[in-house]
Amino acid sequence: MRFFKIGIVLILMLFVSSIMAQSKLNNWSEGYLDIHHINTASGDVTYFIFPDGTSMLFDLGASMAPDNPEYFQLKTNVSNTPAQIVAKYIMAVHPMKDKSVLNYAVISHFHTDHYGKVTEGLRESKDGNYLLTGITEIGQYIPVKTLIDRAYPAYDFPKGLKEYYRNDATFNNYLKYVALREDTNRTVACLRAGSKEQITTKFKSYPEFEVRNLKANNNIWSGQGEETFSIESDYSSLINNKGFNENPLSLALLIRYGEFEYFTGGDLTGYNWRNVTDMETPLANVLGEVDALALNHHGFHDATNTYFMETLNPEVVVNQSRHTPHFQFTPLQQIVKVKSDLYVNNLHEATFELFSEELKSLIKGRNGHVVIRVYPKGKEYKVFTIDDSDFQLKILKQQHNTYISRSK
């Protein structure tokens, strides 16, 4: 009887161990495309692991939230900076020997919730040349092989940014970081719209995978070869009138893996009014349907127009939010129209309670890291919401779903 009881206990232990193992996100394996929307509560950051292990960071914001619980929902691990959260998360999910290298870091545009913010009390870099925040900090923990932004090297679009941002401590700090990279022979580049050769896998062993540069500044891929066309607007006039807005000039990428397609575009705008330009409509004409996308401008009212959403018709939408104004009526209505499954990094409980029952039913995951894992050949993918209170990669209960990619 004693041995029988021991056997029962061992079986129960194995069963519990199995359940626990199932509730944790497995590490990336070769052949997977992983897209990690990391929740720092301080801005956008998406970490990609390509099928061969090549890695890319798209944005790393550090616009810290004030202590206002009705406006912001702060994370429990706020003792870490956003870059520290990202570095620890990357070390947890990437098992490759070269996990200590970011092959690419791409900055969509120069807003603090996308590339960092200079505030009082920041640490200096090891060489004392610049302050550590967002993208300038991540290299202290994980070296960045290639840095890509929208305006290098002249920073002259739509006009002289160095002059326009002369009193902007964050932009000038970023320029110091870029200058040091140049001095130490580390690559800095401007995104080339239309190219699928600028951001590539290391080993060229996955011909069904590509990163297409859809847009840089006002240049958009035509859909043919590497040809582009321009969206004309009097950006210089906007600068002269102090009304210049970075958002319409955000970089945009299309990630393809076999039958799977994913779109991301920073803070792209979808309307022509005041100091913004409709960049979504011409992109929609080129793109057609995609499987998943990151919601433009966090779900703010100047993005996600009807034509864009109906044309892309995504099955999965991820909203990288950091405060309650990032959930506005018009974009949310577009999601309801196309009945996309919605996953959200940060959704305040009070905001959620204001949603319609139809919208609530579309929310499949909230308050955590949102991971899209695309399986070999891109035929199938899963979306997980991961507990963001630590770095154990625990899958939140009932916040994971399986999808079949659309064949185009």
Predicted pLDDT of residue 408 = 62
Across the range 107-117, mean pLDDT stands at 97
User: 299 versus 222: which is more confidently predicted?
Assistant: 222
pLDDT of residue 18: 41
Q: Which pLDDT score is estimated for 395?
A: 97
Burial class for 357, CB neighbours closer than 10 Å (0-12, 13-18, 19+): exposed
pLDDT digits (tens, 9 = 90+) for 281-308: 999 999 999 999 999 999 888 999 999 9
Mean pLDDT of 314-328: 85
Q: Check residue 352 and give its pLDDT.
A: 86
Percentage of residues of the chain with pLDDT beyond 90:
70
Q: What is the mean pLDDT of residues 277-281?
A: 95
Of the two residues 349 and 194, the one the predictor is more confident about is: 194
Of 348, 307, 295, the C-alpha closest to 324 is 348
What was the pLDDT predicted at 70? 55
| pLDDT band (50, 70, 90) for residue 273 | confident
Output helix, strand, coil percentages for the chain, rounded to the nearest 5. 30, 25, 45
> Mean pLDDT over all residues of the chain?
88
Question: Does residue 72 carry a pLDDT above 70?
Answer: no
* Among 297, 302, 318, CA closest to 108: 297
Tens-digit pLDDT profile for residues 137-163: 999 999 999 999 999 999 999 888 999
pLDDT in tens, 371-405: 999 999 999 999 999 999 999 999 998 888 999 99
Over residues 337-375, the pLDDT tens digits come to 999 999 999 887 878 888 899 999 999 999 999 999 999
281 versus 12: the higher-pLDDT residue is 281
- Identify which has the larger pLDDT, 205 or 22: 205
Asked if 64 and 85 touch (Cβ cutoff 8 Å), the reply is no
What is the structure's pLDDT at 275? 76
Given a cut of 60, whether residue 76 has pLDDT beyond it is no
- The predicted pLDDT at position 10 comes to 40
For residues 68 and 303, the model is more confident at 303
Mean pLDDT of 160-172: 94
Mean pLDDT of all residues in 2-17: 43
Task: Measure the CA–CA gap between 83 and 64, rounded to whole angstroms.
Answer: 12
Q: Of 247, 64, 232, 53, which is closest to residue 150 (Cα–Cα)?
A: 247
Report which of 5, 75, 16 is spatially closest to residue 389, judged by C-alpha positions. 75
Q: Quick one: pLDDT band at residue 97, thresholds 50, 70, 90?
A: low
The pLDDT score that the predictor gives to residue 100 is 75
Is the pLDDT higher at 35 or at 2? Answer: 35
Q: Does 95 score more than 70 pLDDT? A: no
CB 59 within 8 A of CB 44: yes
In this model, does residue 249 exceed pLDDT 70? yes
The mean-pLDDT minimum among 142-156, 245-259, 316-330 falls in 316-330
Domains, in order of start, for the chain: 33-404 (3.60.15.10)
For residue 64, is pLDDT > 70?
no
